[in-house]
Amino acid sequence: MIIAQITDLHVRPPGRFAYDRVNTNAMLKAAVDALMRLERRPDVVLASGDLTDCGLADEYVALRELLAPLSMPVYLVPGNHDRRENMRAVFQADGYLPADGEFLHYVIDDHPVRLIGLDTVVPGEGHGLMCLRRLNWLETQLARAPGEPTVIFMHHPPFLTGLADMDRINCRGGDSMADIVARFPNVERVLCGHHHRPIQARWAGTLASVSPSTAHQVALDLKPDNSPTMFNLEPPAYQLHVWSPYSGLVSHTAYVGDYGGPYPFVLDPDYPGHGADNAAPAEAAE
Ligand SMILES: [Fe+2]
Ligand SMILES: [Fe+2]
């Protein structure tokens, strides 16, 4: 099973750019095209929040059109740039979002890997939260299938990354969530967005990670006082998390765009192993 992760799409109304600079809609279209060109297509696509830039109804309509070419199921969770009510209005018909209740969290049991989407949004705030209600919900869902390989996906990372200004708006309640997740060794991965960079950490007895954005990236600045966070236009990317019962979940980052190649590995005559297959046994023994 291949799980594609796209994140921080920051879709705008048609014709408008994010921060007056980033054509996020065109960049999402390029990412969707890249996914559909893969010779081995993903089985599902997860989008881990900041689906739109401002949570506007027009942005969700544009998002729906941009995602339409994907032939596999697509599962969305909101981020701090989203608005639950507008997201729900446009995507409710897909059938996996809860019909009522405050949070847009859910479990997908249709695949070899169980998928748990978490809603970490605090309306009007940049940071996220796993509050008591959400922690209890997560614990209940994990306890229902403790033997199933499981991926949790969410917008705000519940762990610290060293990107100090972003860490200030990460997922609060992360330690409480870690206490729960650590009791379920079947959690293969906690997949996040929000930080717009490729980041991995050992956390709660599993691996937690952040995928780069399909649009702009957060500048890498590990100074303790790195405020304000700046963005740049490093290559847009998505991740492929490949599951097999033999090797578990293995994750790859793929860049969207043409960077040259593919080229064949034609070995230089000076390469140490060049011609090794034809080396005479006597020579090899010297
Ligand atoms: Fe974002
Ligand atoms: Fe975010």
DSSP string spanning 30-59?
HHHHHHHH-SS--SEEEEES--BSS--HHH
For residue 145, the CA-to-ligand 2 centroid distance in Å is: 30
At residue 131, does pLDDT exceed 50? yes
Distance in angstroms (rounded) separating the CA atoms of residues 46 and 74? 6
Stretch 227-247: mean pLDDT: 97
For residue 49, the CA-to-ligand 1 centroid distance in Å is: 7
**CA 57, 59, 65, 69 torsion-angle sign:** negative
For residue 17, the CA-to-ligand 1 centroid distance in Å is: 14
Question: Where in 49-186 does DSSP place strands (E)?
Answer: 74-77, 106-108, 114-117, 128-129, 150-153, 171-172
Q: What is the pLDDT of residue 245?
A: 94
For residue 136, the CA-to-ligand 2 centroid distance in Å is: 23
For residue 257, the CA-to-ligand 2 centroid distance in Å is: 23
What ligand has the least distance to the C-alpha of 122?
2
What ligand has the least distance to the C-alpha of 18?
1
DSSP 8-state symbol, 18: B
Q: What is the pLDDT of residue 273?
A: 86
What ligand has the least distance to the C-alpha of 120?
2
Given a contact cutoff of 8 angstroms between Cβ atoms, the answer to whether 69 and 35 are in contact is no
Stretch 142-150: mean pLDDT: 98
For residue 170, the CA-to-ligand 2 centroid distance in Å is: 9
Stretch 176-183: mean pLDDT: 98
What ligand has the least distance to the C-alpha of 155?
2
What ligand has the least distance to the C-alpha of 7?
1
Please, how many CA atoms are within 13 Å of residue 142, restricted to the half-sphere of its CB? Answer: 23
| Nearest CA among 119, 139, 141, 140 for reference residue 130 | 119
Please, how many CA atoms are within 13 Å of residue 180, restricted to the half-sphere of its CB? Answer: 20
Which is more confidently placed, 59 or 280? Answer: 59
At residue 282, does pLDDT exceed 70? no
At residue 284, does pLDDT exceed 60? no
Q: What is the pLDDT of residue 15?
A: 96
For residue 81, the CA-to-ligand 2 centroid distance in Å is: 6
Please write the tens of the pLDDT for every residue from 62-119. Answer: 999 999 999 999 999 999 999 999 999 999 999 999 999 999 999 999 999 999 999 9
For residue 262, the CA-to-ligand 1 centroid distance in Å is: 31
Q: What is the pLDDT of residue 285?
A: 44
Q: In this prediction, what percent of the chain has a pLDDT beyond 70?
A: 96
Output the average pLDDT for the chain.
96
Q: Are strands 217-218 and 199-203 parallel, antiparallel or unpaired?
A: unpaired
What ligand has the least distance to the C-alpha of 51?
1
Q: What is the pLDDT of residue 42?
A: 98
For residue 202, the CA-to-ligand 1 centroid distance in Å is: 22
For residue 194, the CA-to-ligand 1 centroid distance in Å is: 5
CA quadruple 62, 66, 72, 74: dihedral, nearest 10: -40
Please write the tens of the pLDDT for every residue from 22-54. Answer: 999 999 999 999 999 999 999 999 999 999 999
Stretch 204-222: mean pLDDT: 98
Q: What is the pLDDT of residue 259?
A: 97
pTM value is: 0.95
Q: Is 145 exposed, middle or buried (0-12, 13-18, 19+ CB in 10 A)?
A: middle
| Nearest CA among 15, 26, 13 for reference residue 216 | 26
For residue 144, the CA-to-ligand 1 centroid distance in Å is: 32
For residue 128, the CA-to-ligand 2 centroid distance in Å is: 9
What ligand has the least distance to the C-alpha of 196?
1
Q: Is 214 left (phi over 0), alpha (psi -120 to 50) or beta?
A: alpha
What ligand has the least distance to the C-alpha of 218?
1
Stretch 254-271: mean pLDDT: 96
Q: What is the pLDDT of residue 277?
A: 61
3-state secondary structure of 118: coil
